[in-house]
Amino acid sequence: MYGKIAPVDNIHVERGGTDGPTLLLLHGLGGSAEVWAGVTPLWPGRWIAPDLPGHGASAPADRYSFGGLAAAVAGLVDGPVAVLGHSLGGVVGLALAGGWFGVEVTAVCGLGIKVSWSAADLAKAAEIAAKPSRVFATREEAVDRAAKVAGLPSGAEATRLVVADGDGWRLALDPAAFAVGRPDLPGLLGAARARVRLAAGENDPMSPADHLRTLVADPVVLSGLGHSAHVEDPAALRGLLDFLA
């Protein structure tokens, strides 16, 4: 399924592909590099897929910010890259495209980025960030919860989304990652030094097309798909991959 796996500065990284353009794949909050399993075979070149800090098999961060996450993955990149990021990963991709972290980004696509944040949304995220991880009695219960947190469809690959904890199981996700906050999307888009495309599933409740249109005139709407379009139907992303290539 995957290519070479290597730890880099406490970040779990998966790499594959052959000669050609390089694609950096950044998962969303609660996810891991596993979510890109259906997308990587469609890319005509090399790809790099890390578990973001505090996710999957990567070590937690001291604190979480979009810039901090971008800095953490910037060291994985050698040469120009295109970036495909889902939700949180899309914001991190836009941060990389600003040129502040020494990465030459040729194009970036943000898939399913949450645009509208209410005071209640931010308060709920802060509340979750302050709580310790819940321990579930069975792995199945933990996996079900992990998939919901990550916005993944039922039955999605989740090997690294949960870890054993004593006699039970908990999410691999560091709850403190919820404190990352609200992104300044207009600012990030304005600062981007790369071609940018925003996209979302037609039925994505977190990233409705009308919200994306407040930022860009022509977002890509993926028919019939939800928040995790890259998992639900990887082939539907071919047009986005063509843009990135």
Q: Are 29 and 147 part of one and the same domain?
A: no
Q: Are 17 and 49 part of one and the same domain?
A: yes
pLDDT tens digits for range 168-208: 999 999 999 999 999 999 999 999 999 999 999 999 999 99
Q: Are 139 and 76 part of one and the same domain?
A: no
Domain count across the chain: 2
| Reported confidence tier of residue 6, pLDDT bands at 50, 70, 90 | very low
Greater model confidence, 243 or 19: 243
Greater model confidence, 153 or 237: 237
pLDDT for residue 28? 96
Q: Are 14 and 38 part of one and the same domain?
A: yes
Average pLDDT, the chain: 92
Alpha helices (H) along 75-183: 88-97, 119-130, 139-150
CA-closest candidate to residue 190, choices 99, 103, 57: 99
Q: Are 84 and 184 part of one and the same domain?
A: yes
Residue 61's domain comprises 5-117+176-244
